Chain A
């Protein structure tokens, strides 16, 4: 009954099309702007050590 219903409404091809899009969808992340981006930048700039730390 269910499979007949699905076929009748052409849901299978629709789901086949939609599912990859749903699974791959990422939440939209807005990059911080202005001073909000500053702490991460300050943390990223790191002086080297001598000899270099290989561990």
Chain B
């Protein structure tokens, strides 16, 4: 009896690692065979046995959506690639997600988890979303993304979703999916605790890459993100608490990192801020913003730390961008950056914009306070600082210390800024 219990219960608990190879569950790494069922069975077995690694060995594995369960680490080995099917119907039935900051029922993200604990995607392999102008990206409705007149696009559904969010229609009745053309994100853990993404390479997401929503204790370490498609944000923690983004590489078609907390009335309904975010030792190449805050920030953002990051592409537009308006509202406070090297940015090193998209057209006045930048070195930019806030809500307590901005083309734009301080700051036009 004791030995039986030992092998069944105690040994797994003592083992440092328990592996569930997907090929034992029918997966074939030939790039053609649909491995969806094999992934599902391996994950179920791993979960029911108390947890471990679902191992993807060398090879190319084609699959649909992967739904993680508690205590499962999806391990993608070196020389292994998971290719995600580009047939949208594979990602049905719809699941509970946030889409551009509004909760709804939509296509499953390529990797998804809902109310799970201890989940991970790790390894040295590749996760390929296969987004391209003829797959997913044309739904954006922009010609540069492959859309031509007569093709379907997301515009009508996006507008409808935002209307449903404003009206407070129950999420269960906000059903999208097939026929609505709202692209799924790559990895979206929802209401999860203890999430790890480590070592793997993500490429060509249909929409955003990593979007943990309402999660606690999230570690994203040594991950490479490469995708220049429309809305290809790198990592968007949304209404999360305690997030570490460390030693990651971003080459993205939109913001490298965008910290969010829901959009407009739907963000205020959920009302969970994004707080305690660390961005450490990352390299940002292409992207609109190295670190952006918003524009979906209606639940508030606080306690953001960034240090020892490098931004070194001519295509990067801003180092830190806080974007909101009086429809989004939101409180942004306690944003601290230090030891950041910016080779060049096309626009401003720091931008705080209260006139993003709809501008000052609502009744939810945003508040931005306590922004501190220390030891920032920028080699080239149009502006060093560009801040436009409201007279009734100035950007407050913005502090620069030991910063050098060289090759700055234009003078600072400072509209409604209160308690701006600069200590040992050099802004030079050469």
CB-CB under 8 A from A33, the residues of chain B are 334
- Indicate whether A1 reaches chain B with its CB closer than 8 angstroms: no
Q: Which of A38, A45, A49, A50 is B242 in contact with, Cβ under 8 Å?
A: A45
Q: Is B305 touching A51 in the complex (CB atoms < 8 A)?
A: no
CB-CB under 8 A from A9, the residues of chain B are none
The distance from the CB of B309 to the nearest CB of chain A, in whole angstroms, is 15
CB-based A-B contact count at 8 angstroms: 67
Measured as residues with beta carbon below 8 angstroms from the partner, the interface class of chain A is 10 to 19
Q: B46-54, B89-97, B148-156, B253-261: which one contacts chain A?
A: B46-54
Residues of A19-55 whose CB lies within 8 A of B: 33-35, 37-38, 41-42, 44-52, 54-55
Q: Is B13 touching A54 in the complex (CB atoms < 8 A)?
A: yes
Q: Is B372 touching A41 in the complex (CB atoms < 8 A)?
A: no
Q: Chain B: which residue is nearest A44 at the CB level?
A: B242
Q: Is A51 touching B52 in the complex (CB atoms < 8 A)?
A: yes
Cα A49 to Cα B120 with chains together (Å): 9
The distance from the CB of A53 to the nearest CB of chain B, in whole angstroms, is 9
The distance from the CB of A50 to the nearest CB of chain B, in whole angstroms, is 4
CB-CB under 8 A from A45, the residues of chain B are 217-219, 242-244, 276, 278
Q: Is B13 touching A47 in the complex (CB atoms < 8 A)?
A: no
Q: Is A46 touching B217 in the complex (CB atoms < 8 A)?
A: yes
Q: Chain B: which residue is nearest A42 at the CB level?
A: B278
Cα A51 to Cα B305 with chains together (Å): 31
CB-CB under 8 A from B15, the residues of chain A are 51
Measured as residues with beta carbon below 8 angstroms from the partner, the interface class of chain B is 35 or more
The distance from the CB of A36 to the nearest CB of chain B, in whole angstroms, is 10
Q: Which of A38, A47, A54 is B305 in contact with, Cβ under 8 Å?
A: A38
CB-CB under 8 A from A49, the residues of chain B are 118
Q: Is B53 touching A50 in the complex (CB atoms < 8 A)?
A: yes
CB-CB under 8 A from A37, the residues of chain B are 303
Cα A54 to Cα B13 with chains together (Å): 7
CB-CB under 8 A from A54, the residues of chain B are 13
Cα A8 to Cα B305 with chains together (Å): 62
Cα A48 to Cα B219 with chains together (Å): 9
Q: Is A41 touching B52 in the complex (CB atoms < 8 A)?
A: no
Cα A49 to Cα B244 with chains together (Å): 16
- CB<8 Å pairs between A and B, sample of 15: A37-B303, A38-B278, A45-B217, A45-B219, A45-B242, A46-B217, A47-B221, A49-B118, A50-B17, A50-B51, A50-B52, A51-B13, A51-B18, A51-B71, A52-B71
Residues of B bordering A, CB below 8 Å = 12-13, 15, 17-18, 50-53, 71-73, 117-120, 194-196, 198, 217-219, 221, 242-244, 276, 278, 303, 305, 334, 336, 338, 372
* Given A45-B218, A45-B276, 16 new contacts (CB under 8 A): A33-B334, A38-B336, A41-B242, A45-B244, A47-B196, A47-B221, A48-B117, A48-B195, A50-B17, A50-B18, A50-B71, A50-B120, A51-B13, A51-B51, A51-B71, A52-B118
- Enumerate the 6 nearest inter-chain pairs by beta-carbon distance, A residue then B residue, closest first: A51-B51, A48-B118, A50-B73, A48-B194, A47-B196, A47-B219
